[in-house]
């Protein structure tokens, strides 16, 4: 494992702009895990697939920092954070390293990303607080195909490889039956499929869902208008986290937006 240091940062900032250097680095660093400081701990990642975390100005604790901070604030009212589409666990680690009591469940089908997450869990001594499930979250239990070559953009894809799949409603029901759960869903457009299972969520009064809605037609499946309708029809109170009007989100052709939904008590 390579520890990211100020010396590495200084060298990279000078030479990484050269295409030949990038090609050599990609070859030399294939399969290499790096770690960098992350709040009061560390985060581990693949040096090539997650090169954006070290080859430029972006770092793990600055990636969507506004969203990380919102999740930390929301998590203060919940007992379990369920991270659907966790990848290397940036959002989960951001919460658990700043909230000493909450536990988490991370679900992702990308084998390499989950291995990096497990290393982060070990380094940060979080074994008793984070459960990992290596699977895709989908409409039914059983195998699905998943493209894990895209780093943080890995997703269910008919041209991917076969992985285990877990049913969305069963997963959420398991953890929300006896606990207040904050659930983050970032599944590269597949939220259009998952949200059709909202009627099957039995303990909605224990839930807060934060869903990333992908643009219309994204990967052939994104449909923010349908997702908003499913959320509203479920009886939940839906809010735009970025305060963007729903009519704009529904027709969005390019950008992603986060929405939050809560349900009243029984």
* pLDDT tens-digit series, residues 233-251: 999 999 999 999 999 999 9
CA angle, residues 265, 213, 157, in degrees to nearest 5: 115
**179 Cβ contact partners less than 8 Å away, ≥ 6 residues apart:** 78, 79, 80, 206
Q: Has domain 65-262 been given CATH number 2.30.42.10?
A: no
Query: Smallest Cα–Cα separation from 116: which of 140, 142, 152?
Result: 152
CA angle, residues 37, 147, 182, in degrees to nearest 5: 55
Residue corresponding to tokens 């029984």? 266
Higher confidence at residue 148 or residue 193? 193
Q: What is the pLDDT of residue 143?
A: 73
Say how far apart CA 111 and CA 130 lie, in whole Å.
17
Predicted TM-score of the model (pTM): 0.89
Say how far apart CA 37 and CA 145 lie, in whole Å.
34
**In this predicted model, what pLDDT tens digit does every residue of 64-82 receive, in sequence order?**
999 999 999 999 999 999 9
Domain positions in the chain: 2-53, 65-262
At 46, is the pLDDT very low, low, confident or very high (cuts 50, 70, 90)?
A: very high
Say how far apart CA 1 and CA 24 lie, in whole Å.
18
Residue 155 has pLDDT above 60, yes or no: no
Say how far apart CA 151 and CA 132 lie, in whole Å.
18
Residue 214 has pLDDT above 80, yes or no: yes
Q: What is the pLDDT of residue 20?
A: 62
């Amino acid at each position: 494992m390579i520890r990211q240091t100020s010396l590495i940062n200084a060298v990279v900032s000078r030479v990484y702009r050269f295409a030949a250097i990038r090609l050599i680095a990609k070859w030399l660093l294939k399969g290499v895990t790096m770690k960098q400081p992350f709040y009061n701990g560390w985060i581990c990642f693949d040096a090539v697939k997650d090169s954006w975390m070290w080859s430029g100005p972006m770092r793990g604790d600055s990636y969507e920092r506004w969203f990380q901070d919102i999740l930390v604030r929301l998590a203060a009212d919940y007992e379990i954070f369920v991270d659907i589409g966790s990848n290397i666990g940036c959002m989960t680690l951001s919460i658990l390293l700043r909230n000493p009591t909450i536990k988490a469940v991370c679900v992702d089908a990308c084998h390499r990303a989950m291995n990096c997450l497990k290393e982060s869990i070990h380094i940060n001594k979080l074994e008793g607080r984070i459960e990992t499930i290596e699977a895709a979250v989908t409409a039914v239990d059983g195998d699905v195909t998943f493209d894990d070559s895209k780093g943080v953009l890995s997703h269910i894809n008919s041209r991917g490889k076969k992985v285990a799949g877990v049913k969305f409603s069963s997963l959420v029901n398991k953890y929300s039956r006896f606990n207040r759960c904050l659930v983050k869903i970032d599944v590269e457009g597949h939220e259009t499929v998952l949200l059709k299972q909202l009627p099957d969520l039995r303990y909605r009064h224990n839930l807060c869902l934060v869903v990333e809605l992908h643009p219309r037609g994204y990967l052939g499946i994104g449909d923010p208008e349908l997702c908003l309708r499913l959320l509203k029809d479920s009886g939940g109170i839906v809010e735009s986290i970025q305060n963007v009007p729903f009519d704009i989100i529904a027709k969005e052709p390019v950008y992603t937006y986060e929405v939050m939904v809560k349900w009243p008590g029984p």
